[in-house]
Chain A
Amino acid sequence: MSVHLLVDFGSTYTKLTAVDIEAETIIGTARAMTTVKTDVLEGFNVALSKLENAHPDMGDITAISACSSAAGGLKMAAIGLVEELTAEAAKRACLGAGALVNHVYSHHLSKKEIKALKNAQIDIILLAGGTDGGNTECILHNAKKLSEADLGIPIIVAGNKDAADEIEDILSGSGTEYYIVDNVMPKLKKLSVKAAKDVIRQIFITKIIEAKGIKKAEEKTGEIIMPTPESVLMAAELLAKGYEDEEGYGELMVIDVGGATTDVHTIGEGYPKRAEVILKGLQEPFAKRTVEGDLGMRYSANALVSLVSPYEFKQYYKDADEDKIQASVKKRSDHVEYLPDSEEEEAFDEALARICCDFSMSRHVGTVEVVYTPLGNMYYQTGKDLTEIKYVIGTGGVLINHKDAKKILEEVNKKSNKKLELRPQAPTFLIDEMYILAAMGILSQKHPKLALKLMKRHLK
């Protein structure tokens, strides 16, 4: 028997999934609190003994691979020239690599922005600006400012190639760690994020997890190969595309409602479905991830509630009394490991989950607007048209443990007051009942076909 153990060091829980490679089955899963403040291996060991106790005949573990979003995950800043173009392209590269991007700057960096970057506890900066052959002045200015600021964190330069040599001259003498890669927007509106994503992952593996005290885990687990959100995105992409003769599910969406963030991933082109619709804006990535730092069940419960008025909250939770809402929210943000202990609290969690799904969906999907032309109505589409998405998959603790999780997702889709949003119309809903998506993303690096089979078997 050959057991491959997959580990996800999450912000709250360290989650283990044991896979029997020969029998092609999942032996079991287990979890324990992540213990990043003391020794990350403590939590891992607790989870491992839980797993071994539950499956005493599990056999020897022959391989371990891990991903991590512990200690705040991967935090990045994206800098570009025009907000909707290279700044957005840079942001998408960061998101696709599994990062959280709370700082996005366009045009010339100001002193105030540099100061904000200094205070922001960012792990990596991605600097873009200009198409190849286009504007060099802005990215050169920003490179100089960043070099002078001496932030002590790696800078990835993915802008106009014409500026690359000069940027190298600026950064090479400064002691700043830097990487120069392909432009994230080589031509107007063309997105090219692979090179940037690869180097982000490389830095994450070699530097970031060490700085966060997770590196220690590698003594036991082997290399931590990527940030957790990236492995979820990879699992989703594999499930959509299929592998060799094992067919995939086609275009799909994954909604991952977590304690701190809600992530939405879609795999699909999202092109306009009708001839009179004209696509606007920057090209969308085929595998697209958005992450909402203000939508989460625990760490971000405060921010979440501030997004909706008490009146709106009533649409999600019937007897919404403002004091009660505040008390329930406080309970959750003060005790992030809190699990609902009454029907009322369960209903409250459900309401939060609904808001997470609804808002994150709203921010992820594309929109259409009508233009009245002499030739009749035409439509602008911004973002992805996801109306024909075939599968919507829910994951994350609250959805996995909820008895009516599919209903939550269904109702989110039905919301008709946002007509111009291109949400999935009639998808099949699946739930990641065993919480294995991230694990399958890691497994897919070595055993893609097996990972695909297991997902098809266990997403229900």
Chain B
Amino acid sequence: MATVVIGVIGADVHAVGNKIIEHVLNEHGFNVVNVGVLSSQEDFINAAIETDAKAILVSSLYGHGEMDCKFMKENCVEAGLNHVKLYVGGNIVVGKQDFTAVEERFKKMGFDRVYPPGVNIEDAIEDLKTDLNLS
């Protein structure tokens, strides 16, 4: 059973989506470690180290995600988590922006998958299974 770390980054308290993601990942057979809302990069990274997680799924709904996610990949590498897949999704930037550009920016920051608002979570889980060689 693959372990994944999920949570809501930064000063963001949107708890509902976080619970839904946990529920659906559980249903798909993942061992979910939920660091919850108001979580720092460090919270995600420490959790991933101790639990030997294969992926970190970062949520952000309040628009400041881009700032909160800065250097997250670098910090993962620093903590020895080079192999851990890094996903991000939600309203991850300020205002309405062209998603292709947004995706490109986050990929440059080291995220493996970037999801726009309103994405179907089942699609993301299919990607996760592919990336972790589970299907």
Contacts and interface: CB of A to CB of B under 8 A. Distances in A.
Interface in B22-45: 31, 33, 35-38, 43
Contact of A135 (B35, B38, B51): B51
B51 A131 contact: yes
**Most B CB within 10 A of own CB, among A85, A135, A187:** A135
Q: Tell me if A's interface is mostly helix, strand, loop or mixed.
A: loop
Contacts of B3: 133-134
A14 interface: no
Interface stretch (A299-307, A371-379, A450-458): A371-379
Nearest to B35: A188
A409 to B, nearest CB: 35
Given A85-B46, A278-B37, A188 B51 contact: yes
Q: In the complex, which range does the number of interface residues on chain A fall in?
A: 20 to 34
A278 B37 CA distance: 9
A187 B5 CA distance: 12
Contact of B50 (A135, A378, A380): A135
Interface residues of B, number: 21
Contacts of B63: 374
Contacts of A134: 3, 50-53
Contacts, number: 59
A192 interface: no
A82 B49 contact: yes
A24 B46 CA distance: 52
Given A134-B3, A278-B38, A372 B50 contact: no
Nearest to A84: B46
Contacts of A375: 13
A130 B48 CA distance: 10
A135 B12 CA distance: 29
B47 interface: yes
Interface string A75-119: 000000110111000000000000000000000000000000000
A136 interface: yes
A378 B11 contact: yes
A85 B45 CA distance: 12
Nearest to B38: A278
B7 to A, nearest CB: 11
Nearest to B1: A133
A185 interface: yes
B49 A135 contact: yes
A81 B37 CA distance: 24
A188 B49 contact: no
A373 B62 contact: yes
Contacts of B43: 280
Nearest to A281: B43
A53 B37 CA distance: 65
A134 B3 CA distance: 8
Interface in A367-419: 371-375, 378, 380
Contacts of B12: 373
Contact of A130 (B31, B38, B52): B52
Contacts of B33: 131, 187-188
Given A133-B31, A278-B37, A278-B38, A374 B50 contact: no
A373 B11 CA distance: 5
A385 B50 CA distance: 26
A371 B49 contact: no
Given A188-B47, A278-B37, A135 B52 contact: yes
A271 B3 CA distance: 28
A133 B31 CA distance: 10
Interface string A264-304: 00000000000000101000000000000000000000000
A293 B51 CA distance: 32
Interface string A113-155: 0000000000000000111011110000000000000000000
Interface of B: 1, 3, 11-13, 31, 33, 35-38, 43, 46-47, 49-53, 62-63
29 contacts: A81-B49, A82-B46, A85-B46, A85-B50, A129-B50, A130-B52, A133-B1, A133-B51, A133-B52, A134-B3, A134-B50, A134-B51, A134-B53, A135-B49, A135-B52, A185-B50, A188-B35, A278-B37, A280-B38, A371-B11, A371-B38, A373-B11, A373-B13, A373-B62, A374-B11, A374-B62, A374-B63, A375-B13, A378-B38
